[in-house]
Each structure stands twice: as structure tokens, then as C-alpha cells.
Structure 1
């Protein structure tokens, strides 16, 4: 009887150890939860939202324009922003219109925010890639990112952040799991 209790205890310890290693591996290499801290991605993500960072999708599918990513900023903090410019692109804003390589590009995720502006200003001030970075096109290995709440976001426009090196990207953030009334995939 004593041997069977020891065996059962040992089996439990093995099961817990395997589960622990599995969870650590999943969190390190595949998925990781993060807390959205601040209003820079409103209305897409609100302060206090909890999202899943999909780390593996960046390797499998790559990063595309308009993906929402999480990256390690130069401050050491993790930032969540939207990718607007990819390597080789030229990015500009004029009269609240995004231009990629000289062509206007629609940003439907900002329509509601633009409608809610109380003043007659623009959501995104005029800018060019050259005025922010000195580059005429985004260099290989870098991304141009902005927060959706353009007036209150520390992003590529901030010299402390600048263009985001691809190796600093942790993954894509497109699943919200809290608050519970907003659970789901976010575009």
C-alpha cells in the first residue's frame, strides 16, 4: 500500500512538472498575455484591456501593414502600436490622409475617432518620413508604427521611439481576452 501512494505522488509530481514546462514554453515561444497601459491605441484597445500576443505568427506569416504589434521600446517597456510602414515604404500624412509610396490609403479603423473630434483639427498631424527620421524610405529590418489615438501616442513620431527594429517585435496582438464583454479577435 505504501509503494502505491509513493508511485501516485511521483506520478502527480511528474504531471505537474510537465504541465509547468509546457506552460512556460507556450508563454515564451507562442503566446503571451499583456496589459494595455494607456490610451494610445484607443478606440481599438482601451487602457486596461488584456490581449494575447501571438509570437509565432510573426515568423510564420510575417508582419503586414495595419497589423497591431507589441514591441520592446527603447525604454524597456512593451508598446502596442499599429504598423503603417514596411521596409522600402515611404510614409506621409497630409490633411489627415495616409500616403504610402505616394498613394492615399484608407484607415477605416480611425473613422469613428475622426468623427468624434470636437475641434476642427486633424487626428494625425502632417508629416513625412524624412521629417521624422531623415530617411526617404524605411530601411530593411525596420517598421513605421503609430498608435490609433494619434494625438496621444508615443510612437515612430517620438524620437525616443523612432522606427521599430524587427528584432524588437514580440508578436501580433489581435485577440482581446479582457474585459469579458469585448472578448474576441480585433481587426
Structure 2
């Protein structure tokens, strides 16, 4: 081995090491500040999300914007994270009357619900949502622990991202709506 080829080999190792370190740093940055994954536990979001599915959620979206009605969000609580749908926004008055969702006195169409769930929602409210808080529910209303029964109002700081994409199982790859 000549001195030139030894130097070239060392330089190649240095370049590979540098590329790997940069790739790891980019991945850590993306995972920490932009995207992360979460596993859906339970059946409270059926049929939109099923137990065991892994979703990618966008952490940056709510730094730049606010949650909107219909968004599927990740809620961070000390014991565990929850995946729920935003139903009511800060300052609104919400009421559930059987299969009717009434927001500020007007009926709202819940296109994301299956018919069998929609007719079993029950009655709730009317109740005014505090400022800087949201009212969330699971799509499977019969078994969902949500703002009606256990989670209460969700403060905007507890919403850590919006579900964007189902990535596992691979046969279920799709955007969450």
C-alpha cells in the first residue's frame, strides 16, 4: 500500500462518517421538531384509525397554525397520549342531541362518522368551551374516552400534533382525515 492510497482510504472513511453523522442529526431534528410516530391504542377512533395502526403526526403544524374542526390530533397527557378528533373550538357552545351535533346553535354535519355510530352518540351539553381549549371526541362515540367523559376540555398546549399518515400496517397506508 502506497502512502497516497492509505491517505485516500482514510479520507473516504472520514467522508462516510461525516455523512452518517449528518444523516443522524437530520433525522433527530425531524423527529424532535417536525414529525413523530404514534401507535393507536384501542378502538375509540374506528373506523378512521384502528387499534395497532402506526401514524405519523406533524408536530410543526400547530406551531404555525391552530387546530381546526375535524383535525385528528395527538393529545399529550402525563399517563399517555390520545388520538382524537377536534369537534369544538375555543369559545364555541357545543351540544349533542342524539345524532345531531349542534355548534353555536347550528347543526354541523359529521361526515367522518359511520352511520351506525352516528345514531348512538347520545345527548350532551350544551356547554361552552373555554378560551384556549378544545372539545375532542373519538369517532367511535360509544366507547371513546374524550371531552365528554374523562379527558375534559383539551388545552391548546396539550395538542402536540396532527395525524397525517397511516404507515403501518403497510396495507393501510393512507392519509388520515
Alpha-carbon distance change, 178 to 112 in structure 1, aligned in 2, over 3 angstroms: farther
3-state DSSP of counterpart to 1:108: coil
Matches within 5 A, 1:147-186: 147-159=138-150, 161-186=151-176
Alignment of structure 1 residues 1-187 onto 2, 5 Å = 1-73=5-77, 75-114=78-117, 122-130=119-127, 137-159=128-150, 161-187=151-177
Which 4+ residue blocks in structure 1 deviate beyond 4 angstroms? none
Residues 95 and 158 of structure 1, relative CA distance in 2, 3 Å threshold:
closer
Q: Conserved in 2, the CA contact under 8 Å of 1:43 and 1:113?
A: no
8 Å contact from structure 1 (residues 89, 101) kept in 2: yes
Unaligned runs of at least 5 residues, structure 2: none
2:96 and 2:126 in contact (8 A); partners too: no
Runs of 5+ in structure 1 lacking a partner? 116-121, 131-136
Q: TM-score, normalised by structure 2?
A: 0.91
Report Cα offsets for 1:110-168 as digits up to 9, x if no partner: 134437xxxxxx421200154xxxxxx21121110000111111111223x21111111
Aligned pair in 2 of structure 1 residues 176, 3: CA closer, same or farther (>3 Å)? same
**CA spacing shift, 1:8–1:33, aligned 2, 3 Å:** same
User: Which secondary structure does the structure 1 equivalent of 2:56 belong to?
Assistant: strand
What TM-score, normalized to structure 1?
0.86
For the pair shown, which has the larger CA radius of gyration, 1 or 2? Answer: 2
Separation in 2, partners of 1:113, 1:165 = 30
Higher percent of residues as strand: 2
